[in-house]
Amino acid sequence: MSPVPDPGPVPSPSPPSPPPPLRFGYGTNGLADLRLDDALALLADLGYDGVGLTLDHMHLDPLAPHLAARTRRVAHRLDTLGLEVTVETGARYVLDPRRKHGPSLLDPEPEDRVRRVDLLLRAVQVAGDLGAHAVHCFSGTVPPGTAPDAAWQRLAETLAPVLDTAATAGIPLAIEPEPGHLLATLADFHRLRRALGDPVSLGLTLDIGHCQCLEPLPPADCVRAAAPWLRHVQIEDMRRDVHEHLPFGDGEIDFPPVLAALAATGYRGLTVVELPRHSHAGPHYAELSLPFLHRAQAAAQGTQCADPRPPTSLAPTVRPAHRQRPPSRAPLPRRQSPAANPPLAPSGEPSATPQGSTS
């Protein structure tokens, strides 16, 4: 028998490549005192990857005339600046000058619910024209005198046409668990998802501060539990049981594990800073937030990273090369195989804030 030739040294396997860096944005609801063009230029100069664009009267008004033409101008501006975008629908008084976030998907009067549905349908159209990652929405609070079961049925029925339109447009609708609302927790999201038959066009907006506020799991575990449905992420600091959006470092959240979890789960959308109550100093907080997130991400990767910008300078930075945004009719992201989600406790009292939502 001929001797078996020596194959030589076996090459050692190459180490796994690190996940691509997260992409950070800033919400325009935290820059409400700026013109939209100025806000977008500021975020690009600071080095943000994208923007959470709230449709509101001071920016891209969804109810004013010539929406399609105005949307095309914003799309051109985003392309010029190399910014990605998610469309958000949390404007406080865009539909009703007297009722914050009203009317909602849960209002008793059908014509009021239709107004909210119309806003969401307009948002889906805008998102398609902008090439956005997703459209964000929320359930609303339960109207007085409405039984919880009736509210859940009303939510499912009212969302159905929006989900159909989102599926046709290829834009996921990412509903946000909001403290004080009917849909307040991850457990509530799964209740709605099951009631609707798990439509592929229904995704999740996960607000990291809300996880700290009221979820039974730590924020990083919430990210892992939510990963198969995650389409949009909002981020800020927060304290347990207090629904108050805080600048980074003013709350209780340990951010490196959260960012590590987002990267490890393969999340590829925007992670958008959500500081709507700090709009009076929006440029200041936009400048401070991105270096904080870069440091937290570096810590999550076990590396050291200097601040990308000095904390007191608003001079333009060198922006990354032009980023190609997703096509406006891209197929919906495929949902991962449903991993076993850790059990979530009932929502209980959603917030220690008497008024409910502070966003």
Kindly state the helix (H) or strand (E) to which residue 87 belongs, with its residue range.
strand 84-88
User: What would the pLDDT profile of 125-145 be if each residue is shown by its tens digit?
Assistant: 999 999 999 999 999 999 999
207 and 176 Cβ atoms separated by less than 8 Å: yes
Quote the CA–CA distance of 80 and 82 in Å, as a whole number: 6
User: What would the pLDDT profile of 310-328 be if each residue is shown by its tens digit?
Assistant: 333 333 333 344 444 444 3
DSSP 216: S
Quote the CA–CA distance of 285 and 6 in Å, as a whole number: 63
259 and 22 Cβ atoms separated by less than 8 Å: yes
For 294, phi then psi, to 5°, come to: -65, -40
Of the chain, the percentage scoring pLDDT greater than 70 comes to 79
> What are the structure tokens assigned to 177, written together?
């668990």
Quote the CA–CA distance of 54 and 35 in Å, as a whole number: 13
Residue whose structure tokens are 């109810």: 63
121 pLDDT above the threshold of 50: yes
Give the pLDDT band of residue 95 (cuts 50, 70, 90).
confident
Q: How wide is the angle at C-alpha 208 spanned by C-alphas 105 and 54, nearest 5°?
A: 50
Quote the CA–CA distance of 291 and 231 in Å, as a whole number: 24
User: What would the pLDDT profile of 31-53 be if each residue is shown by its tens digit?
Assistant: 999 999 999 999 999 999 999 99
Q: Which of 269, 277, 263, 266 is nearest to 234 (CA)?
A: 269
Per the rule left: phi > 0, alpha: psi between -120 and 50, beta: everything else, 35 is beta
Cα 327 to chain center, whole Å?
19
